[in-house]
Structure 1
Amino acid sequence: MMDIELRVPREGTPALLRTPEQFADAAHALSAGRGPFAIDTERASAYRYDDRAFVVQVRRHGAGTFLFAPEGHRAELGAALEPVLNGQQWIIHAAPSDLPCLGWLGLSPGAIFDTELAARLCGCERSNLAFLVSELLGFELAKQHGAADWSQPDLPQEWLDYAALDVEFLAELAQLLETMLRAQNKWEWAQAEFSHILATNAQPCSSEVSALHLAPHPEQWREVKGVRGLKDRRQLQVARTLWQVRDSQARAQDTSPARILSNRCLVEIAYAQPESITQLKRISCLPRRASERKLWWEAVETAYMSPAQAWPHLTRPQQVPPKSQWSRDYPQQWEIYQELRSRCEERADSLHLRPEVLVSTSVMRAFVWAVAGLAAAPGVHNNIAGSVRTLADAEALLRRHDCRDWQIDILLPLLAPLLPSRGVPGAEQC
């Protein structure tokens, strides 16, 4: 049986609501509906400074679908929707990506059903929305505008069709996935995961707040791809200063930092440590305008003139060596890790679970290092080697890494044979 292709919602695409009066009318209609709210957002982080929502989609049985344009009236949209949505059950696909920007509007659920996570718990082959709607409901959705510039003032009709379709089937999908979870005895697991997502991602604040109004984390620059490959403190100081100037420019212009200076170019400049603007100009990825080149050279000069004792250290404190070092520098621990990973993957497969839902690779590495790591490992601060010797220690480590009860119940029998009391190789070196 072939899927039914849908390019517009079954009831048609609603108009995009832009005014406080329209927000209030829509909120009243939603309050008269029944059941949970299906919610999604469209953002423009590739074009704007932050990840705030430029379209908010809400659908509820008995009320229909509504599309809201928050920009210019964010406080008014929050005021209209808060009494209706806050504290209620929401259905969202991949909730961690949407909850923060909804929180910036002052909106927060009382409970959620995350269809993306539910699909991974059920062991579905894929968990993207288009696949699930096709596989479970028999409708084919066009998925082609997710990375578009939703901050544009005038959105094409086909984009609005796409946005409305994103919430069209969430309620039906949630019903089917709940049935599957219950049939697999995973409903309690799902509820624990939904609660965890809610606790870690839903943080309502003033509807006037977004990342534009919040100071960046002082160590955020280290997350730029390639920065970890820089080898000395002077390079790191150049990278940090370039990042700070870029962030300030992007914030002032409300544009994506990568559009001011790409991550690749930022790292290339830091790596090269140019000693003159002439040397800087030789970096091919550098913006071509003279004013921009002058800006980046001034940033490099500022980095060089800062006190050397204030330059960043090469690595942030780590309790476990970076994963890139294990196979080369710690072969014994790497072998134990590979064994544990294989066990966890086999157990996840037997439960029809995606392995990453059961346990992350970072948690497995932490356990192996805590059991069999080396007490003197270069670059490892706050070393946890030797800190896990018993099952109680193992459970404590899992809880510190935010594992939930259902995961701990499954993992402890897999970890027990690797504890020092069972003769794990390498444990005596701790």
Structure 2
Amino acid sequence: MVKDSAPHGTISVIDSRDQYLEAVELIRAGHGPIGIDAERASGFKYSQRAYLIQVFRRGAGTFLFDPPAIGDFRELNDAIGDVEWILHAASQDLTCLREVGLNPPRLFDTELAARLLGLPRVGLGTVVEELLGIHLAKEHSAADWSTRPLPHPWLVYAALDVELLPDLRDAIQKLLDEANKTTIAAEEFAATLARDFRIVRSEPWRRLSGVHSIRGTRNLAVARELWQARDDYAREIDVAPGRLVPDASIVAAAKALPETKRDLAALKEFSGRASRSQLDRWWEAAERGLTTEDLPVLRAATDTLPPPRAWSEKNPEADKRLKLARAAIAELSDELAIPVENVLTPDTLRRIAWQPPQPVSREAVESALEDLGARRWQIEATAHLIVEAFVDASQVVELAVENDS
């Protein structure tokens, strides 16, 4: 029977250094692993900083911290720096936690573990309900957590997100033991901790939604300058760029190539909360794009592979390698009850299929998989299947060539 999580009384947010230091000592005196979570203001703010950090430890209780007010969390990190930290979908929170000095020494990721167990849905609310029999409402997950003061229902939601993590961790660990997946999970947790999730792109403006529809280098220059102006202003006032001027507005302006500020203002697609109040800023950017000699290339150099649907024409042998290896790994995925993308990432398989090591051998494929970031358990589980698939693909292609001749 599913039961609702218990209602909370008054919950307060710790927003002073003195309160914070007192809480650190209470947490230090607790026992067992740490349940931790962070709330950001994605879609509202430019930064991806944490606006609330929740911590729960048995024997200590629940603590909600205001990171902008507290600043540095090194004391808390020192207090819990030798115990396991429990997060759900750690890849989403590690960057903002590290920004304030919180860096887990050991990780248990309940979302990642749920994937490895083959659970059909791995959101926190669903996993808690399935394994603990508790209904966990998730209605505030997309809220603007930079809001001050934070409403009480939001604080209850935030507290429950961490209070159930130790119990959930124990339930999941039992299932991992039963499925002989504890070692696999440990490797995945360690790999998550080792990753830097910050994304650095050489030409980030090319991530504009719809940029692929822009034709002409001059048009691209206008799109680039408008994107950069928007990004600079969004960073300055800490607002999500899309809330100032949507991507679609920048693309429309780039396609239209307005000759005057009035033309830009007259574009019905050029909308957004700052499309008129910052019109001078946008027109100056558009002018730079219209007059610059530094024109971008139509298609930037990239190491992105062609889409698999084009492989049969561009690289028929690679296409055959990919299809046979993908089928073998899909079968392995079913046997292990682990999603295929967790058995081996699709990008890793595509890259090794497109340009396999030569000669193809178990040792060479294992080395290539390791270079591409595969974990030891993934390599041991898939390398021999990939070798067999590649050898079969080569034979199929050779036979086809012989028949054609």
Q: What's the TM-score once normalised by structure 1's chain length?
A: 0.85
Match of 1:399 in 2: 370
Q: Does 1:409 align with 2:380?
A: yes
Q: Does 1:348 align with 2:330?
A: no
Match of 2:59 in 1: 62
Q: Name the amino acid aligned to 1:299.
A: A
Give the whole-Å Cα distance in 2 for the aligned partners of 1:271 and 1:337. Answer: 38
Match of 1:199 in 2: 194
TM superposition shift of 1:79: 3.9
Structure 1 unaligned runs (5+)?
Answer: 204-210, 372-385
In the alignment, is the contact (CA less than 8 A) between 1:247 and 1:257 conserved in 2?
Answer: yes
In the alignment, is the contact (CA less than 8 A) between 2:17 and 2:70 conserved in 1?
Answer: yes
Match of 2:278 in 1: 292
Give the whole-Å Cα distance in 2 for the aligned partners of 1:388 and 1:266. Answer: 49
TM superposition shift of 1:313: 5.2
User: Structure 1 residues 263 and 64, CA, compared in 2 at 3 Å: closer, same or farther?
Assistant: same
Match of 1:377 in 2: none
Which of 45, 48, 52 aligns to 2:45? It is 48
User: Structure 1 residues 316 and 253, CA, compared in 2 at 3 Å: closer, same or farther?
Assistant: same
Which of 72, 79, 87 aligns to 1:92? It is 87
Q: Name the amino acid aligned to 1:28.
A: E
Give the whole-Å Cα distance in 1 for the aligned partners of 2:271 and 2:393. Answer: 59
Match of 2:7 in 1: 8
Q: Does 1:137 align with 2:123?
A: no
Match of 1:249 in 2: 233
TM superposition shift of 1:28: 0.8
Match of 1:206 in 2: none
Give the whole-Å Cα distance in 1 for the aligned partners of 2:309 and 2:257. Answer: 25
Give the whole-Å Cα distance in 2 for the aligned partners of 1:331 and 1:224. Answer: 32
Q: Does 1:107 align with 2:102?
A: yes
User: Structure 1 residues 231 and 425, CA, compared in 2 at 3 Å: closer, same or farther?
Assistant: farther
- Secondary structure class of the residue paired with 1:181: helix
In the alignment, is the contact (CA less than 8 A) between 1:232 and 1:314 conserved in 2?
Answer: no
User: Structure 1 residues 328 and 276, CA, compared in 2 at 3 Å: closer, same or farther?
Assistant: farther
TM superposition shift of 1:331: 6.3
Match of 1:380 in 2: none
User: Structure 1 residues 247 and 262, CA, compared in 2 at 3 Å: closer, same or farther?
Assistant: same
Which of 118, 126, 149 aligns to 1:123? It is 118
Give the whole-Å Cα distance in 2 for the aligned partners of 1:323 and 1:247. Answer: 33
Give the whole-Å Cα distance in 2 for the aligned partners of 1:190 and 1:297. Answer: 52
TM superposition shift of 1:346: 1.6
TM superposition shift of 1:317: 2.6
TM superposition shift of 1:421: 7.8
Give the whole-Å Cα distance in 2 for the aligned partners of 1:47 and 1:343. Answer: 44
In the alignment, is the contact (CA less than 8 A) between 1:7 and 1:142 conserved in 2?
Answer: no
In the alignment, is the contact (CA less than 8 A) between 2:321 and 2:390 conserved in 1?
Answer: no
Q: Name the amino acid aligned to 1:264.
A: A
In the alignment, is the contact (CA less than 8 A) between 2:32 and 2:83 conserved in 1?
Answer: no
User: Structure 1 residues 145 and 388, CA, compared in 2 at 3 Å: closer, same or farther?
Assistant: farther
Aligned residues: 398
Which of 282, 285, 289 aligns to 1:303? It is 289
Q: Does 1:220 align with 2:204?
A: yes
- Secondary structure class of the residue paired with 2:55: strand
TM superposition shift of 1:267: 2.6
In the alignment, is the contact (CA less than 8 A) between 1:49 and 1:256 conserved in 2?
Answer: yes
Match of 2:302 in 1: 317
Q: Name the amino acid aligned to 2:382.
A: L
Give the whole-Å Cα distance in 2 for the aligned partners of 1:229 and 1:390. Answer: 43
TM superposition shift of 1:167: 0.6
TM superposition shift of 1:287: 2.6
Aligned-pair RMSD on alpha carbons?
A: 2.6
Match of 2:246 in 1: 262
Q: Name the amino acid aligned to 1:295.
A: R
Q: Name the amino acid aligned to 2:287.
A: E
Match of 1:361 in 2: 346
Give the whole-Å Cα distance in 2 for the aligned partners of 1:327 and 1:258. Answer: 38
TM superposition shift of 1:200: 0.6
In the alignment, is the contact (CA less than 8 A) between 2:35 and 2:55 conserved in 1?
Answer: yes
In the alignment, is the contact (CA less than 8 A) between 1:6 and 1:139 conserved in 2?
Answer: yes
Q: What's the TM-score once normalised by structure 2's chain length?
A: 0.90
TM superposition shift of 1:266: 2.2
Give the whole-Å Cα distance in 1 for the aligned partners of 2:25 and 2:352. Answer: 52
User: Structure 1 residues 291 and 411, CA, compared in 2 at 3 Å: closer, same or farther?
Assistant: same
Alignment identity in percent? 35
User: Structure 1 residues 319 and 54, CA, compared in 2 at 3 Å: closer, same or farther?
Assistant: closer
Give the whole-Å Cα distance in 1 for the aligned partners of 2:360 and 2:266. Answer: 55
Q: Does 1:20 align with 2:17?
A: yes
TM superposition shift of 1:190: 0.7
Give the whole-Å Cα distance in 2 for the aligned partners of 1:225 and 1:387. Answer: 39
Give the whole-Å Cα distance in 1 for the aligned partners of 2:86 and 2:234. Answer: 33
Which of 13, 17, 32 aligns to 2:29? It is 32
User: Structure 1 residues 233 and 332, CA, compared in 2 at 3 Å: closer, same or farther?
Assistant: farther
Match of 1:389 in 2: 360
TM superposition shift of 1:227: 2.7
- Secondary structure class of the residue paired with 2:139: coil
Give the whole-Å Cα distance in 2 for the aligned partners of 1:327 and 1:139. Answer: 50
Q: Name the amino acid aligned to 1:397.
A: A
In the alignment, is the contact (CA less than 8 A) between 1:388 and 1:419 conserved in 2?
Answer: no
In the alignment, is the contact (CA less than 8 A) between 2:321 and 2:393 conserved in 1?
Answer: no
TM superposition shift of 1:416: 1.3
User: Structure 1 residues 232 and 399, CA, compared in 2 at 3 Å: closer, same or farther?
Assistant: farther
